[in-house]
């Protein structure tokens, strides 16, 4: 039907209803103070309709559980998508480890924030917070149900595991491309040396000095070449080792040099090789330090965002308790006015229970957060050690 075919009275009532919804009605929430979006409402309605259609009795808790599973799975994937897209757009391989690590930290933070905004928490299971439960749940499968403080950490762990796996592959790919790039640069720069070697240019008196000059020039040009990535020193070390036998043969055949001068040259060759080997080791050590720093940074960012989320949810829970308490007090007052003193007395027990719960909730939440953080930190340390052992 077209709007002009509808009753004017109906249209006026609909207009007033919409105005009320948009200007006065409060945002609908579920237990824990979580705001219900249109997407979440659709999930709840779908679950209710399916339950009724099957002949069962609909239950709000079951509908919320189903919605939580959908939201938490989506939250993990959405966070990972933010990370992958960010890294893809900001990192042009090959890059230095400092650069890729910096971008990893930036987009890991964005991914965690994205996850936290969408993830869903159920305060009804707040006491499931032991390390043993955390380890067993994480070992079985990705957690995607209603989130307790520990369960949220487990989903963060799963999300972080996916990010770390993606980052590990990216670091390896960056290393591989760096090796390929550096080898190509050295091959291109040493074309003239290879030509001179084939033409016997170095097989003449004074040839060793010329060879060293050309080799040093190749090394200088290589170091001046930008965008070599993470494996420049290691590839240069391998390149110089390959030239070791070549240099020794040219030195031995150079009749211009005395035996004493040749011995000094051998010692110089050895010193240069050791110097380059040390540079390669420093390069590798730097990568390990980056891995440890990334682990520390991830742990700190996780704790920061978990604390912010806890503060938000603690405030939501406090408001929820206050609203419930206010409602019960009003109900009790009405009962007293109407003379239902016995019912008012029974209601007092519920009021006392609400007051007690509101006092202990924050302390329980803090204990849960501390326990969950310890479990998550152990997980990050385990992943970091795995990365270090792979190198």
In angstroms, the Cα distances linking 279 to 27, 183, 234 are: 61, 17, 8
* Predicted pLDDT of residue 123: 42
Distance CA 35, CA 149 (A): 18
Yes or no: say if 119 and 152 are a contact pair by the CB < 8 Å rule. Answer: yes
Distance CA 147, CA 126 (A): 9
Q: Whats the size of the chain, residue-wise? A: 391
Yes or no: say if 178 and 231 are a contact pair by the CB < 8 Å rule. Answer: yes
Can you say how many angstroms the Cα of residue 218 is from the centroid of all Cα atoms in its chain?
41
Distance CA 141, CA 284 (A): 35
| Nearby residues of 30 by Cβ (< 8 Å), 6 or more positions away | 36, 64
Task: Kindly list the averaged pLDDT for each block of 10 residues, start to end, along the chain of length 391.
Answer: 82 88 78 73 80 76 77 86 94 94 94 84 36 31 43 66 89 96 96 93 92 95 95 95 92 89 92 94 94 89 82 78 80 79 76 72 57 56 53 50
* Predicted pLDDT of residue 189: 96
Distance CA 270, CA 358 (A): 73
Predicted model pTM? 0.70
Of the CA atoms within 13 Å of residue 183, those in its CB half-sphere come to: 8
């Amino acid at each position: 039907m077209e709007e002009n075919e509808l009753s004017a009275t109906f249209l006026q009532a609909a207009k007033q209803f919409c105005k009320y919804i948009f200007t006065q009605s409060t945002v609908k929430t579920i237990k824990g103070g979580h705001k219900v979006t249109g997407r979440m409402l659709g999930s709840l309605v779908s679950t209710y309709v399916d339950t009724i259609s099957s002949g069962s009795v609909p239950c709000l808790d079951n509908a919320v559980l189903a919605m939580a599973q959908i939201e938490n799975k989506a939250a993990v994937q959405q966070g990972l998508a933010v990370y992958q897209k960010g890294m893809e757009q900001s990192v042009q391989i090959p890059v230095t480890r400092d650069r890729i690590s910096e971008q990893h930290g930036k987009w890991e933070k964005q991914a965690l924030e994205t996850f936290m905004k969408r993830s869903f928490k159920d305060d009804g299971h707040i006491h499931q917070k032991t390390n043993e439960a955390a380890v067993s749940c994480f070992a079985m499968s990705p957690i995607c149900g209603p989130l307790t403080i520990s369960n949220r950490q487990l989903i963060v762990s799963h999300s972080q595991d996916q990010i770390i796996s993606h980052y590990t592959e990216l670091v390896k790919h960056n290393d591989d491309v760096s090796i390929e790039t550096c080898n190509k640069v050295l091959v291109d720069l040493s074309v003239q040396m290879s030509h001179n070697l084939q033409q016997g240019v170095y097989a003449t008196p004074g040839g060793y000095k010329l060879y060293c000059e050309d080799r040093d020039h190749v090394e200088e040009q290589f170091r001046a070449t930008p965008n070599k990535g993470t494996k420049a020193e290691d590839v240069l070390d391998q390149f110089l080792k390959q030239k070791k036998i070549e240099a020794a043969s040219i030195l031995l055949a150079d009749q211009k040099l005395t035996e004493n001068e040749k011995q000094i040259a051998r010692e110089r060759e050895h010193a240069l090789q050791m110097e380059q080997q040390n540079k390669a080791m420093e390069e590798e050590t730097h990568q390990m330090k980056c891995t440890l720093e990334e682990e520390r940074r991830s742990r700190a960012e996780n704790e920061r965002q978990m604390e912010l989320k806890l503060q938000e949810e603690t405030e939501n829970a406090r408001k929820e308790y206050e609203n419930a308490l206010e409602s019960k007090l009003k109900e009790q007052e009405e009962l007293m006015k109407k003379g239902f003193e016995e019912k008012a007395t029974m209601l007092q027990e519920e009021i006392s229970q609400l007051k007690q719960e509101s006092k202990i909730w924050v302390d329980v939440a803090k204990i849960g957060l501390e326990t969950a953080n310890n479990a998550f930190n152990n997980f990050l340390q385990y992943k970091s050690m795995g990365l270090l052992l792979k190198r």
